[in-house]
Structure formats: C-alpha cells, structure tokens
Structure 1
Amino acid sequence: MTSNAATILLIDDEPQIRKFLRISLAAQGYKVLEAATGSEGLAQAALAKPDLLVLDLGLPDMDGQQVLAEVREWSQVPVLVLSVRAGEGEKVKALDNGANDYVTKPFGIQEFLARVRALLRQGQVGESAPASVSVGALTVDFAFRRVTVDGQDVSLTRKEYAVLAQLAQHAGRVVTQQQLLKDIWGPTHVEDTHYLRVVVGHLRGKLGDDPSQPRFITTEAGVGYRLKS
C-alpha cells in the first residue's frame, strides 16, 4: 500500500472543516471518509478499517478523548487529534490516551499534510520494529545500540541512549515527558521533568543539535519531544 492510496477517516462535527480537509486530502490522492459524531466515527473506524483517523475532541455526542480511548481498546490505527483545545493538559491527556500527534486549530494545511504523511509512514511499518532508524544525518542502530551522526560514532550514556531510542522508535510522533520518565526512570519519577531536560540537553550537545534550529529533536513545549521523521 502506498501512502497516497491510504484511507483517512475525518471525525469532526464542523462541515466546513470536513470539506476543507476532504478537498485537501483528496488532492493528495487519499480516500476520505467522514463522520460528524463520535459514535458514527467509531462505527466507521471498525467497519472501514481506515489507515489514519483525524479526530476532533469537541464532538456533539461524546468527548473525543472517549472516542480515542475506545479506539485504542481494539486498534493501533494512527490517530491525529485536530482540536481548538490548545491547553497543555488536553494535549498530554490525548497523547497519553494513545493519540499519535496533536494539531491545534487554526492550523496550516501544509504542516497538517506533512504530519499525515509522517503518521502514514509509521502505520506502514506495522507491528515489526525496524532494525535501525535514520533521520537525516542521524542513525540509531537498535541491534548494536550504535548511534552515528554523519557516519561518526556518538558515545552516549545509558540514559541518553534510552531517551534517543524511545524517540527513534516513535519517529515523527510526540513522546510525552511522562511517558519517557515512566519508561526510563520508573513510575515514581513521572514528575521529575528536570532529569529529562538535563539528559535531552546533553543529548542535543553530543548530536550537534541546536535546539533553536533543531535537525533532529524538537520540543513540544510543556508536552514532550519529537524526533523528526
């Protein structure tokens, strides 16, 4: 399956938004399905088995967070949340509930389409994890726990490698601070965000990654980090 043959389900109660996205996505060759309510969206997600869900949180019959949680009970389909809710708490909740990415309204269509492409690439990987991940000049080889930039080995501490490997396994997607802290430091350290900031700072230094113009690791302020795809 090529990404341009992918089926995308839009779950949003605003007809104007659905029309705009339908036209934009169809112009890229995607097949587009639509649902105006959460219950309709869940039914279409189960029956049509789309390759990607674009989910609004403010639905008339049920909260989009509930839709997301129900989808995640039986499917790992990539989910891109598209919502006017810009608060950090909503973003973290959606990502912790299983969303792969979060875009706030109003949004730029080119960035939106780029995030769609990134999530569809992730979906094509399926359940099998890649042996290595490359992002530009950066390569993370999971089998040999080897990291290179421009072909040169980069020496990382265990924590630095663990953070980078986690981001690489979810390249193109936001990984929340809480998820990184829980998985790498343990469940008792989910509030110790300063640990993570220090490690990411050291990691960026070793990778030669300028946080103001990142080549590899981008910060989603107050939410987490993303390795570019």
Structure 2
Amino acid sequence: MHSDPAAAHRLRHDLAEAGCEVCLCRDVDDAAEQLATPSDWELLVLDGSLGAQAAALCARVRAAEMSIPVLMLCPGSSEADRIWGLEVGADDVLPEPFGMAECLARCRALVRRHQLGLEATPELRCGAVTMRVEAHRVSRDGQDVTLSPREFRLLQFFLEHPRRIWSRDELLTRVWGELEAVELDPKTVDVHIRWLRLKLEADPAQPALITTVRGQGYRCG
C-alpha cells in the first residue's frame, strides 16, 4: 500500500510486469483486512510516509504472528529513517527514490529468505533459550521473549551456526543482506546484539549466549 495513488499504481504495474500477483490496498484498514483473509501472501510492501499508520500496521502483523515479511518504502534516505522502518517491524527498508530493478531484487530476496526460514529446523536451542522458527516465538527458561523481526533473524542465524565466529561485516551481509550491508555502519550489529543480550541473558554484562571474541567478532554457544 502507498499514500500516493499514482505511485502505487505504477508500482503495482511494474511488479505485475515482473510476474508478481499484486493486491493494492486503499488504506491501512483495507490492508489489515486483506492480510486477515486466508491466502498465500508472500510479502507486504508498505509506504513508510504513512508514519504512525505504517507502524501500527506492522505492529498488527507482528502481534498476530502473521508469517509474512515486510518491505518498507522509506521516504527519506538518512540512517535515522532506515532505522525507524526497521524498528517499527519492517524486515527491510528501501529508501526513495529507488529503481525498479532494486525494488524487485529486494522483494525476491525477502521472499526467498522467508521461505528458507520456514524450511529451517522448527526448533533451535542454546542453553536456556529456545526458538520455534515457524511459530516465530522465542523463550528463555520457558518464558516468552518479544523480539523485533531483525533481532529474531539475527538470533536465528546465530542458533543455526553455533560455535562459529562471525565478523560484523559477515553478519551484516548474511542477516541484513548484501544491498543493505553496504549502507549500514557495522556498529549496527553491536547495537542489535546488545539488545538481544538485554532480553535473553541472565547477566547482560557477562553474556553466555552470544559472546564477543576480541578482534574477530561474535560467537553463539
């Protein structure tokens, strides 16, 4: 959905030309109603210029545990704009203006990563932490823990590759994706790991789940 009807129709036309089946929604309520209808939705493309409405729709999608990735079209190109999109629940952010080739590449990458995630091991464990991939749920000592979509994917990646050391650049490429990795500060990884530690570690100051390997990166387990 898009706040600019003309831009929305152009985007729908271009996606359809690329072989995508597109449902264009009038507003946030229409989008929520469409998503609640049983169907094989693979991706939600959302206009970030809708501001609070866009954030509210992302929250509804995550609260309902809908198994669908979200691509946010970001009206600004600053790091703060991109971070806002990610923090409200988007899986990826595409700054405007953008080329259709990049938009298609990001759409396909999101759908592909999502499908690979559904095919992954349904339950992952490390210490007191358990992740149920298909249900998109994480618990520590049996208590559910709420993670943002990006935190969830980062934790999933660590749990799927235990005991291996990953540099910040490698994590950006593997979790955020190659297109976004070239634009983000590697310290973005540090911030997300700090958030994971605050939510999952018994003592965030002495982490046991995700540890720092000085001069090399991070390791799980």
TM-score by structure 2 length?
0.59
CA distance in 2, matches of 1:85, 1:65: 16
**Which of the residues 172, 194, 199 maps onto 1:181?**
194
Report how far residue 89 of structure 1 moved: 3.1
Instruction: Give the corresponding residue for 1:124.
Output: 115
Q: Is the 8 A contact 1:163 1:180 kept in 2?
A: no
Q: CA deviation at 1:145?
A: 4.4
Aligned to 1:40: 30
Paired amino acid for 2:96: K
Distance in 2 of aligned mates of 1:161 and 1:91: 22
- The structure-2 alpha-carbon separation of the partners of 1:22 and 1:144, relative to structure 1 and needing over 3 Å to count, comes to closer
Structure 2 residue 71 is the aligned partner of structure 1 residue 89? no
The SS at the match of 1:32 is coil
Gaps of 5+ in 2: 122-156, 182-187, 206-211
The RMSD of aligned alpha carbons is: 3.8
Q: Distance in 2 between matches of 1:120 and 1:51?
A: 6
Which one has more relative contact order, counting CA pairs under 8 Å at least 6 apart?
A: 1
Give the TM-score normalised by structure 1.
0.57
The answer to whether the Cα contact below 8 Å between 2:48 and 2:85 also exists between their aligned partners in 1 is no
In the alignment, structure 1 segments of 5+ residues that lack a partner are: 1-10, 131-139, 148-155, 190-195, 204-229
Q: Residue type of the partner of 2:97?
A: P
Aligned to 2:7: 17
Structure 2 Cα separation of the partners of residues 119 and 144 of structure 1:
20
Distance 2:59 2:161 in 1: 35
The correspondence of residues 97-176 of structure 1 with structure 2, limited to 5 A, is: 97-129=88-120, 145=162, 156=165, 160=166, 164=170, 168=174, 170=175, 172=177, 176=188
Q: Name the stretch that deviates more: 86-95 or 32-41.
A: 86-95
Q: C-alpha separation between the residues in 2 aligned to 1:32 and 1:48?
A: 16
Aligned residues: 164
Distance 1:129 1:161, change over 3 A: farther
Structure 2 vs 1, CA of residues 164 and 145 (structure 1 numbering), >3 Å: closer, same or farther?
farther
Q: Percent identity?
A: 28
Is contact 2:28-2:57 (8 Å) kept?
A: yes
Q: Alpha carbons of 1:143 and 1:101: their partners in 2 closer, same or farther (altered >3 Å)?
A: closer
Shift of 1:70: 1.2
Residue 54 (1) aligns with residue 45 (2) = yes
Which amino acid in structure 2 is aligned with residue 67 of structure 1?
L
Q: How big is the shift at 1:126?
A: 4.0
1:80 pairs with 2:80: no
